[in-house]
Amino acid sequence: MKRAIKGMFERTPGRQGALVLAALVGLLAACEPAAPPPPQASASVPAQPPPQSWPFLEGQAAPAAPREFDPANLMARNYYVVFDASGSMTERKCSVNERKIDVAKRALEDFAAKVPADANLGLVVFDNRGIRQLLPIAPIDQRALASAIAQVRPGSGTPLAEAIRLAYRELTQRAAVQFGYGEYHLVVVTDGEANGEDPRGVVDQLIAQSPVVMHTIGFCIGSDHSLNQPGRTVYRAADNPEALAQGLSEVLAESPSFTVSRFK
């Protein structure tokens, strides 16, 4: 066909011949066999796995049921309290001439007594001995709680970011036992702003990654606090002992249900 096209072009001079040649070249191109399609990926090559959801974050394989897994406790509510026992808790403001630490200890024991018996409770404190987990997340043991609270002695600064990070880690580990089902509440009781690291970065991570509900009761500090983030966290200002106890009680009413599927 190419030889025939050349002959026709030679017999058709000038501009007309060029037009004929262009038309025939297009015809020839249409007659050429189509290029084979690009090779398809082998069916044996697996697709990229979807990211895992909290508490099994991307890059971590979801483990088998842990040894402590209890199917009856799959939907349990979990509360982890960050208790501020910094040096300022020795003051007597907003506490009817008691030390703020004594008022806060009593309010915490009252809160624990109201937590449902089928829920789990954990406690971390920062006091004159630094940041310490007093109780891991577990079914409530009132005697153990009272003994732990009695050990608290106020002192030092307010490392909120580090304490919240520890609490979030403990809640995540508990969520792995429940495969993400149930409820997760992180409760901060504080009378001041953080020293050192800004806690907002840790809170941003918590909110972005998980269904953990962040509660803060600000004791004798009003509403101007870095953890008061409307629409993202739950904040309550408590300016007297009754308001502190009420704020902790209201944590139990703020209990939306979440499941792991919401964060896939």
| Bridging pattern class, strands 120-127 and 130-139 | antiparallel
Provide the b/e sequence for 230-251 (b: ≥16 CB within 10 Å).
eeebbbbbbeebebbbebbeeb
Radius of gyration of the chain (CA): 33
Listed in order, the ranges of the chain carrying CATH 3.40.50.410 are 72-263
Query: For position 216, what pLDDT does the model report?
Result: 98
What is the overall mean pLDDT for the chain? Answer: 82
Tokens of 166: 């520890």
Instruction: Compute the half-sphere exposure of residue 54: CA atoms within 13 Å on the CB side of its CA.
Output: 22
What is the Cα–Cα distance from 46 to 258, expressed in whole angstroms?
A: 31
* Residues 244 and 238 sit within 8 Å (Cβ to Cβ): yes
What pLDDT is recorded for position 1? Answer: 53
In this prediction, residue 66 carries a pLDDT of: 56
Burial code (b: 16+ CB inside 10 Å, e: under 16) for 18-42 equals eeeeeebeeeeeeeeeeeeeeeeee
- Asked if pLDDT for residue 64 goes beyond 60, the answer is no
Mean pLDDT, to the nearest integer, of 157-177?
96
Q: Is residue 126 within 8 Å of residue 155, measured between CB atoms?
A: no
User: Is the model's pLDDT at 125 over the cut of 90?
Assistant: yes
Q: Report percent pLDDT > 90 for the chain.
A: 67
Task: Please tell us whether the domain made up of 72-263 is placed in CATH 3.40.50.410.
Answer: yes
